[in-house]
Structure 1
Amino acid sequence: METPSDPNPSATGSVQTVARALSVLGCFRGGDELGVSEVARLQGLAVSTTHRLLTALVDAGFLDKDAESSRYRLGGALAEYGQIAYRQHRIYLAEPHLEQLATTTGASASIATRYGNDAVLLGTSRWREADGHQLQGVRLPLHASALGKALLAWSQVTDDELGRLPYETGTARSVPGPLELGKELALTRERGYAFNDEELAAGYRTIGVPIVGDDGLARFALGLRGPTELMIAERVPFFVELARVTAREIAAVMQ
């Protein structure tokens, strides 16, 4: 029996091209400038195919090409989309509260939401004394970040979802698998906050608390991050209470 052919192969090809282009765009998530060969190697694509995809992304404004080095970086169109998402999520309402929390504690304060296997930062305080130039990324693995664990602990996450997380990311201090993460999430719910003890970067700890809606689930989470010498055990209860108060204030203005 013959397998039915695709009734619209050109449409299938177009979808594959779009998926490849988006995957190529993801190579620039770290903020680096990359050349054609580097992107081709990362994606496992031919250089000619990669060049066509990069050119299409430049034409759309999603990437810029440096005329002298012929290297690519994120383009201005993404800033426009970022501003739209920023307003749609109403992050500007949370920013004054993040700044106040950061100024009071000397740590950096952030708000994040879940996207796939990551916690994605939507807003971060400008108070950077605690971080210096060691800024955290925009996407943080759920299992190895306090923000991610807070989002998971106050959600309807399934065992299958926990099993699919990329546990190879993080540091040697990160939870190694779904069984350990399940226990960590139970502890997180019991004490009312998540904790990251150098699980993403050596020398840094983060407290994570949920920003819950009327249904008791966390669409957002609030993180408070600082160096280990700031985030000592004696200060954690005080920082947690400040973070909880701030999370309630943010929940109220973002409803």
Structure 2
Amino acid sequence: MNGDQESESATVGATETTFAIIEQLRDDGTSVTDLAHALDLSKSTIHNHLRTLTQLGYVVKEGHTYHLGLQFLDLGDAARDRWNLYEVAKQELDGLVSSIGEHGYVMVEEEGRGIYIYQSKTEQAVQTDSHIGTAVDLHATAVGKAYLAYLDDERRDELLTQLDLEELTESTYSDREALEAELDSINEQGYAFNDEERFVGMRAVGAPVLGPDGQVLAAISVSGPTTRMKGERYRSEIPEMVMQAARIIGIRVTYS
């Protein structure tokens, strides 16, 4: 290995370590010792990375505990702002969630992953592991299936080939042929169901946000427990409301 290759390899490794530390800090603060144990690295290595991140404002230290700094908010806003539908979708989703009384999401696709760029919830909403920035499985979510269903054939085939159709529950579409048949049905009816396909006990309804030429821009969904998402409310009333909100978002994005 020549000098340039060694330098490149070392740089990539250092970057991976930095982001591994950042991800460990995401949910709660932690100490150098805990980080070293979790990542199987020396305390000196962890400390060097934390010192750099602290100097740059991306990490703050409180006593012996390190936390993510608010500097990340600026980067997060910049990343989200490139999706010009965010502000429009936010307003419409808030109204939808308020009417239904559950949990709602706006999802866009990036590099074959579904990413939540906004969430809205009521006090009674059931919290799962999903939040803004969560990458979700396209095949096991209402938003993901609604998005896939409205892609052109070439892009859909490309994504389905890339996806690991992991069986998250007994209801997950883990067979490609069955999933494609489901996507065709979604395309015909205009909305997607997630019937305990990602979490047992949770259901969701999703619909695509379409641009002026019918291209899919994003998808939205509303989710809740099976005890409340059931009967005509789940099968008919909520789908109509979700589709209507998605249509309004598409129109406003087009003409804003």
Question: Do both share a fold (TM > 0.5)?
Answer: yes
Aligned ranges for residues 74-223 of structure 1 at < 5 Å? 74-90=68-84, 91-131=86-126, 133-134=127-128, 136-138=130-132, 139=134, 140-155=136-151, 156-159=154-157, 161-168=159-166, 170-223=168-221
Report if aligned partners of 1:163, 1:177 keep a CA contact under 8 Å in 2.
Answer: no
Q: Deviation string for 1:137-179 (max 9, x for gaps)?
A: 3312222211122222222535453244344473333223444
Richer in helix (by share):
2
Aligned in 2, Cα 1:130/1:114: closer, same or farther, shift over 3 Å?
same
Q: Deviation string for 1:99-146 (max 9, x for gaps)?
A: 211122222222111133532211122434232x55633312222211
State the AA in 1 paired with 2:92: H
Q: Deviation string for 1:202-224 (max 9, x for gaps)?
A: 32211111101134222211111
Report if aligned partners of 1:99, 1:127 keep a CA contact under 8 Å in 2.
Answer: no
- SS in structure 2 opposite 1:121? strand
Q: Distance in 2 between matches of 1:42 and 1:188?
A: 43
Tell me the equivalent position of 2:239: 240
Q: Distance in 1 between matches of 2:179 and 2:23?
A: 27
State the AA in 2 paired with 1:22: F
State the AA in 1 paired with 2:200: A
- SS in structure 1 opposite 2:168? coil
Q: Which runs of 5+ in 1 are unaligned?
A: none
Report if aligned partners of 1:150, 1:210 keep a CA contact under 8 Å in 2.
Answer: yes
The root-mean-square deviation of aligned C-alpha atoms, in Å, is: 2.9
Q: Distance in 1 between matches of 2:119 and 2:49?
A: 32
Report if aligned partners of 2:119, 2:131 keep a CA contact under 8 Å in 1.
Answer: no
Following superposition, the deviation at residue 227 of structure 1 comes to: 1.7
Q: Deviation string for 1:18-47 (max 9, x for gaps)?
A: 243234323445x23344455455555444
Q: Which runs of 5+ in 2 are unaligned?
A: none
Report if aligned partners of 1:211, 1:250 keep a CA contact under 8 Å in 2.
Answer: yes
Q: Distance in 2 between matches of 1:44 and 1:157?
A: 40
Report if aligned partners of 1:145, 1:199 keep a CA contact under 8 Å in 2.
Answer: yes
Q: Distance in 2 between matches of 1:63 and 1:24?
A: 10
- SS in structure 2 opposite 1:157? helix
Moved more, 101-110 or 177-186: 177-186
Report if aligned partners of 1:142, 1:152 keep a CA contact under 8 Å in 2.
Answer: yes
Structure 1 vs Structure 2: percent identity of aligned residues?
28
- SS in structure 2 opposite 1:199? coil
Aligned in 2, Cα 1:181/1:126: closer, same or farther, shift over 3 Å?
same
- SS in structure 1 opposite 2:171? coil
Using the size of structure 2 for normalisation, the TM-score is 0.80
